[in-house]
Amino acid sequence: MSRAGSGQDGNWGMDVFDAIRKRRAVRLYRPDPVSREQVLAILDAGNRAPSGLNRQPWEFLIVTGNTVLEMGRSYRSTLDEYLSHWDKSPMRDFITREGFIRFAETYGGAPVVIVVLVPTDPLPNFKKADLESASAALENLMLAATALGLGTCWMTGPLRDEPALRRILAIPDDREIVAVTPLGYPATVPEAPPRLDPDLTKKVRWVE
Ligand SMILES: Cc1cc2nc3c(=O)[nH]c(=O)nc-3n(C[C@H](O)[C@H](O)[C@H](O)COP(=O)(O)O)c2cc1C
């Protein structure tokens, strides 16, 4: 493996701007395994994210094998109501109904699913900061995955099935689930969705 996959400081093999441009929400994966070394390199990138009060609150569950399928079956079983309104779903813009069901049922066939957790904090300010910090960690690890030629898809949909996720993964009440991402080699990479404001004329106001 190239140094890019080593997880050590140094050349990650892809410019950060390239990784940002190349990262896509991948919903279909090849079954090829992802090595433990690669997973650790990706998590190391997550672990280097900034965090409010330097609390570094993120925790990662690395799910493989039959447990991924168990999660998928359970998530799928919650979707009948959602699917009955599919004609109104914004997901229709980027996936077919059948593709969405297959994605939910198997996490797109990804060999690994990463679940991001934070400790539950009763103080709203800490809760917000911890969620933001864990989100920074998740984006970091997704970009690192892209740099290694791997795909990811930030998912909060499976939180519809939160009680089952907690049971299947033995997540205690003092942990909050932030999001989930499959991890694997993409079978197909979607087109980049157009930016709402590509020239940043509406989203930016310069203040002197
Ligand atoms: C907070 C958040 C939640 C998301 N939840 C889901 C999800 O449950 N299922 C899914 O297929 N994609 C989900 N996505 C991925 C978005 O649909 C995707 O990022 C968006 O369509 C833009 O595509 P891109 O990531 O390829 O740029 C989520 C993304 C974010 C940031």
What would the pLDDT profile of 13-27 be if each residue is shown by its tens digit?
Answer: 679 999 999 999 999
For the Cβ of 153 lying below 6 angstroms from any atom of ligand 1, the answer is yes
Please state the domain extents for the chain. 15-184
For residue 114, give the nearest of 139, 83, 88, 147 by alpha carbon. 139
pLDDT at 1 over 80: no
- From 20, 102, 156, the mutation candidate for ligand 1 (largest count of ligand atoms within 8 A of CB) is 156
The answer to whether 176 and 70 are in contact (CB under 8 A) is: no
Structure token pair of residue 175 = 């942990």
Neighbours of 165 (CB within 10 A): 20
pLDDT at 10 over 90: no
CA of 171 to the centre of ligand 1 (A): 23
For 168-197, how does the pLDDT look when each residue is reduced to its tens digit (9 = 90+)? Answer: 999 999 999 999 999 999 999 999 999 999
Structure token pair of residue 136 = 């920074």
pLDDT at 2 over 80: no
For 86-145, how does the pLDDT look when each residue is reduced to its tens digit (9 = 90+)? Answer: 999 999 988 999 999 999 999 999 999 999 999 998 899 999 999 999 999 999 999 999
CA of 182 to the centre of ligand 1 (A): 12
What CATH code would you report for 15-184?
A: 3.40.109.10
| Beta carbons within 8 Å of 194's beta carbon, 6+ residues apart | none
For residue 135, give the nearest of 174, 176, 178 by alpha carbon. 178
CA of 195 to the centre of ligand 1 (A): 14
For the Cβ of 13 lying below 6 angstroms from any atom of ligand 1, the answer is no
- From 92, 155, 161, the mutation candidate for ligand 1 (largest count of ligand atoms within 8 A of CB) is 155
For 27-68, how does the pLDDT look when each residue is reduced to its tens digit (9 = 90+)? Answer: 999 999 999 999 999 999 999 999 999 999 999 999 999 999
Give the position, in ligand 1's atom list, of the atom nearest the Cα of 158: 8
For the Cβ of 118 lying below 6 angstroms from any atom of ligand 1, the answer is no
The residue that leads in pLDDT, 4 or 140, is: 140
For residue 132, give the nearest of 48, 52, 25 by alpha carbon. 52
